[in-house]
Structure 1
């Protein structure tokens, strides 16, 4: 199979690089060969001569004393030539010659050296710790509240009669077009109508959706009603459906002030509409490199079929919605309410795209925070973990290990806080009568870690309700006689 190329058996280098993937807008090299024709079987024929490549020469050690930004981190990778398909339609690739493989190993060694230097930056040094990372909190079970559980429903989707997904959802408000209060709005993850999810990395935006999928809402009394899709937002993974409900249904109460260690209950319903409950405590942590910025977390997984169900506190107030992204993840009520009100007023939920993967300093280990404070003189902000290839951020010199300290002059301490600021910018932009899909100007306060300098960067960002994409660039690896040259991402087959 193609993609990550099959290496010679004696190489033994099938390594996972998740740490690498979370540290920069990676540019991965591919083999580039010139197509010169086709054989009798219509298979592509390539020249024996590889395109020469220029070797990346800039050293991060020099960047520390230079006024110019460091070069983006680029990871070597081999792409093979497809020569046919087997009986199952799986691609068959030409074996990699040993000379190209040796060249790849040389580039890989240089990449590992540069990565090791970058990982010594105080903002990225994950070896600093004062306590185990797997400390868990436990507490006794509580019973669910009547108001909250009456608002929780099971939902199922199908395409052409073929079952697609089942999850939970909850009543969030009335359909304003129905003055009799017989039609309610149900909030649930857009995962309910996701027909294809080829990657766990949400930032690749590869998920496919079926907005025409049939959706059924299953009520606690086992009655059902058809759900009509009102809107779905890919970035936040939320969907709103309208359906007939009982007029006696009470509007939910939300609490957008969530505290670390707070006891919560996770509610949901299974395929038989039976209530499922789990308990846990809110924890403050950074998302993994594949997850969006708007999540918070609990110690304790959502109940079976509870994805999309509400998370409630001891006063019956909803503090968030469970998500399918990782165990215990949820969208906090502060984000839910911003999105719901934006949709109510403008029919859409656009947001500016920074094209950065970030993590909050305040959620790091105390020893790590101290190291950053001593070396950089900063105690809060968002550490840049990855920069999208070709993005405005990259063009303006933002690099892995830098710190985003402010947005439009407002200090930022957490990722949820950043998302609320972005949604506020969207609200203000639309209130002025601007188009949904347009541009928006922002100012980022950046601390450049390598140079220990602060800078305010003005950027024009895309405003859209599509998912935010953070992608890697690629560069090619050739035989030893060749050197590396930059290849535009749009001209590279990313496998």
Structure 2
């Protein structure tokens, strides 16, 4: 066996697969025959894991992996809120669109709803594609940080806190509407032998 390495840059991409907003993408290919491995930053520390999913290579932040492992070690399963929406950070939108959001709507952060599951709880609460949402709790400004936050809610759920809600400020940029909604959380619990990232 020989070690094969590639140099590349991580892009905090718009991409999301099956409601998995925490993916980052790398601008180089995984070596032929490789399945992935650690992503090492310029300082020498491990910052994530890269693996093949679909047509390309994706990266999961090391903070998410560590949280996942700690939950699994304590409970032999992982719980996560059912949150069936694909998001894109406003910070990563195009310059012209960010300028429009800032000038017309006074929006300088948050997350753009790229896709939402049909007949989901969020859709019933009026959230639509193109809306910009803010999490009421302080849970970061990047999608991997949001995933860390959702996993922390799953941890609380497994510790016995069964009734939780997610409060979101929703901006409808097609009109003047701005409202706070409360989403009662349901949780997907995975207790299979193989750890899988899934949304029920």
| TM-score higher than 0.5 | yes
The verdict on how the C-alpha distance between 1:461 and 1:290 changes in structure 2, with shifts beyond 3 A counting, is: closer
- The structure 1 residue matched to 2:188, chosen from 452, 464, 473, is 464
* Cα shift at 1:332: 1.0
Q: Paired residue for 1:339?
A: 68
Instruction: Report runs of 4+ in structure 1 exceeding 3 Å deviation.
Output: 288-291
* Cα shift at 1:363: 0.9
Indicate the structure with greater helix content.
2
Take 1:315 and 1:464, find their aligned partners in 2: how far apart are those partners? 36
Give the greater-gyration-radius structure (CA): 1
The verdict on how the C-alpha distance between 1:412 and 1:445 changes in structure 2, with shifts beyond 3 A counting, is: farther
Take 2:56 and 2:96, find their aligned partners in 1: how far apart are those partners? 26
Residue 287 of structure 1 pairs with residue 18 of structure 2: no
Q: Paired residue for 2:193?
A: none
Take 2:25 and 2:117, find their aligned partners in 1: how far apart are those partners? 26
- The structure 1 residue matched to 2:105, chosen from 372, 376, 380, is 376
**1:58-457 superposed matches below 5 A:** 273-288=1-16, 292-325=20-53, 326-406=55-135, 408-410=136-138, 412-431=140-159, 433-434=160-161, 440-457=164-181
SS of match in other structure, 1:422:
helix
CA contact under 8 A between 2:84 and 2:199: conserved in structure 1?
Answer: yes
Take 1:362 and 1:382, find their aligned partners in 2: how far apart are those partners? 8
Residues 278-326 of structure 1 show CA distances to partners (whole Å, capped at 9, x for unaligned) of 1112223221566721111222112223323111124432111112125
CA contact under 8 A between 1:385 and 1:401: conserved in structure 2?
Answer: yes
TM-score of the aligned structures, taking structure 1 as reference length: 0.36
Take 1:382 and 1:373, find their aligned partners in 2: how far apart are those partners? 13
Q: Paired residue for 2:194?
A: none
> RMSD of the alignment, in Å?
2.1
The verdict on how the C-alpha distance between 1:316 and 1:392 changes in structure 2, with shifts beyond 3 A counting, is: same
Question: How many aligned positions are there?
Answer: 192
The verdict on how the C-alpha distance between 1:291 and 1:423 changes in structure 2, with shifts beyond 3 A counting, is: closer
Residues 383-408 of structure 1 show CA distances to partners (whole Å, capped at 9, x for unaligned) of 111221111101111111111111x4
* Cα shift at 1:420: 0.9
CA contact under 8 A between 2:30 and 2:36: conserved in structure 1?
Answer: no
* Cα shift at 1:454: 2.1
TM-score of the aligned structures, taking structure 2 as reference length: 0.85
Q: Paired residue for 1:21?
A: none
* Cα shift at 1:328: 3.9
